[in-house]
Amino acid sequence: MNAIENIAASACYKSAAAAFCLVLLVGCSALPTPPNRPVSYDFGPGLTSLPAADRRASLPPIALADVEATGLSESSTAVLYRLNYADAQQLRPYTLARWTQPPVQLVQQALRAQLGLRRPVLQDADAAAQARDTARGGKLPAVLRIELEEFSHLFTSPAESTGLLRLRATLVDPTPAGETLLGQRVFIVQKPAPTPDAAGGTRALAAAARQVAVEIDEWVGAAVR
């Protein structure tokens, strides 16, 4: 009889131990996995070779001021998106996606690269120094100011989206008596995203930035002769 009781007790012990191990394994599998590191994006390598004809000296120089952001954080590197079909007024950040630099800096680099193909591109500080250079006649180049108003991955449906860029460009002619407005224009560019995720959104926004740089280059070329 004792032998039977010992066998039964041993079986119960083994069963309880197995159940405990099973609960432990289930509990471990339910623990959250460590988060992945954010993926960083930029606008790509840009130009890999210069045009055959260097036309930078064919147009007068221009001073490009630092790009500013309207309603956006100028220091944030978050990749932002909107669900236009659900709540278009809410701007949301992707959790695991970042720009390598704030968008204002990336847009400025794209503009500088495009404008620099046909003319010297100066900073405001360079233009101010040029005013003190009597050998140059003291004439300042026109100043281009950019306000970035929207730079987001816009979803029109769960499967369809675009990279939306909207900015305001202001071109002024600085004189000793003050600035003369040469022109102001709002540019809006949307490019389709190849995939409905952060990777597709950043590609679409990079393409939008390149296109708006070309459009601004043409607009400036027509205004500054």
The pLDDT tens digits of the residues spanning 165-202 come to: 999 999 999 887 888 999 999 999 999 999 999 999 99
Residues 22 and 120 in one domain: no
CATH number at residue 70: 3.40.50.10610
Greater confidence (53 vs 146) lies with 146
pLDDT digits (tens, 9 = 90+) for 68-93: 998 777 789 999 999 999 999 999 99
Residues 113, 175 share a domain: yes
C-beta atoms surrounding 30 within 10 Å: 7
Query: Could you tell me if 101 and 185 lie in one domain?
Result: yes
Tell me which of 141 and 56 has the higher pLDDT. 141
pLDDT at 81: 98
One domain, residues 52 and 17: no
**Across-strand partners of 170?**
145, 184
What distance in Å separates the CA atoms of residue 213 and residue 225, rounded to the nearest whole number?
Answer: 19
Mean of pLDDT over the chain: 83
Q: What per-residue confidence (pLDDT) applies to 133?
A: 54
Which of these, 141, 71, 72, 151, lies nearest to 110 by C-alpha position?
151
Position with higher pLDDT, 154 vs 25: 154
The domain in which residue 193 lies consists of 40-223
Pairwise pLDDT comparison (6 vs 98), residue with the higher score: 98
Which among 191, 186, 223, 224 has a CA at the least distance from the CA of 207?
A: 191
Taking only the tens place, the pLDDT of each residue in 125-155 is 676 666 555 445 667 899 999 999 999 999 9
Number of domains composing the chain: 2
Q: What's this model's pTM, rounded to 2 decimal places?
A: 0.79
53-to-49, 56, 57, 223 alpha-carbon distances in Å:
12, 9, 11, 23
Residues 84 and 175 in one domain: yes
Determine the pLDDT at residue 111.
97
For residue 56, pLDDT beyond 70: no
**What local confidence, expressed as pLDDT, does residue 59 receive?**
84
Q: Comparing C-alpha atoms, which of 149, 164, 141, 153 is closest to residue 197?
A: 153
Q: Is the dihedral of CA 114, 120, 123, 127 positive or negative?
A: negative
> Do 113 and 24 share a structural domain?
no
Give yes or no: residues 73 and 112 share one domain: yes
Whole-angstrom Cα distance, residue 66 to residue 74? 11
Please name the residue ranges forming H helices in the chain: 2-30, 103-115, 124-131, 198-223
